[in-house]
Amino acid sequence: MADERDERDERDETAARDDARDGLRRAWDELVATARRTVADGLVVGTSGNVSVRVGDTVLVTPTGVPYDRLTHDDLVGVGLDGRQVLGSLRPTSELPMHLAVYRVTGARAVVHTHAAHATAVSTLVPELPLIHYMAADLGGPVRVAPYATYGTPELAENMLRALADRTACLLQNHGTIAYGASLNQAYDRTAQLEWMCRVWLLSSSVPGLAPALLSPDQLREAGERLRGYGQKR
């Protein structure tokens, strides 16, 4: 009987390891698809952005300097929350400190960082994206700009966290955007929404002799309350 239990336990452990490995592979496939989408949608040029997703205590992340269309199953890269590499042989993105800072401080399951053109332009002009559209409420409120710091540094991660306080996205001065969510789809959608709002503000601000109408904090708050009930109930 003891031998049968040992065999059964071993089979269960093997099945659990296989399930965990399959889960990581599926998450990696989704991560790669999201990274490729940032390029296809014009949010990233070349390898300038990065994407990550948390699976348990492992963070899967795009590798540094590798075009997304070349990534395969064999290129999976994973790190622990302490930054120690636990999966893969390719080096993780140079922006790993930002990604890990988000996971340590928030309940995020996915992070998307881009160098989107309109958002980057706005980051050089103002300390906060003006309230041009009520979808700012979906990001937690007025989107702040994190002060500039050299990419890949702890200083940049610290500046980002301050800008992200009570927010799910922010701009990085002279750099780009970062957004997080409960899934890769949500993090990507927030990134795209932020880029769109930046584009709208730049367009409306470019008309000579006219200034765009902006929302008040009360109007944004009301929109945020309505957005909480938006969409299909599950």
- Helix axes 2-40 and 184-205, enclosed angle (nearest 10): 10
- Asked whether the predicted pLDDT for residue 47 surpasses 90, the reply is no
Interatomic CA distance for residues 164 and 81, integer angstroms: 19
Q: Which amino acid is at 192?
A: A
Angle ∠(68,155,80) on CA atoms, nearest 5 = 55
pLDDT digits (tens, 9 = 90+) for 103-123: 999 999 999 999 999 999 999
Query: What pLDDT sits at residue 14?
Result: 52
Active site residue: 10, 13, 30, 95, which one?
95
Whole-number average pLDDT of the chain: 92
pLDDT digits (tens, 9 = 90+) for 130-163: 999 999 999 999 999 999 999 999 999 999 999 9
- Asked whether the predicted pLDDT for residue 224 surpasses 50, the reply is yes
* Residue 230: partners with Cβ closer than 8 Å, 6 or more residues away: none
DSSP the chain: -HHHHHHHHHHHHHHHHHHHHHHHHHHHHHHHHHHHHHHHTTS--TT--EEEEEETTEEEEPBTT--GGG--GGG--EEETTS-EEE-SSPBPTTHHHHHHHHHHS--SEEEEE--HHHHHHHTT-SB----SGGGGGGTSSPBEEPP--TTSHHHHHHHHHHHTT-SEEEETTTEEEEEESSHHHHHHHHHHHHHHHHHHHHHHTSTT-------HHHHHHHHHHHTT-S---
Catalytic residue list contains 95? yes
pLDDT digits (tens, 9 = 90+) for 67-78: 999 998 889 999
pLDDT band, residue 12 (cuts 50/70/90):
very low
Q: Which amino acid is at 79?
A: V
pLDDT band, residue 46 (cuts 50/70/90):
confident
Higher pLDDT, 84 or 233: 84
**Percent of the chain residues past pLDDT 70, beyond the cut:** 89
Closest CA to 131 of 140, 207, 191, 113: 140
- Asked whether the predicted pLDDT for residue 201 surpasses 70, the reply is yes
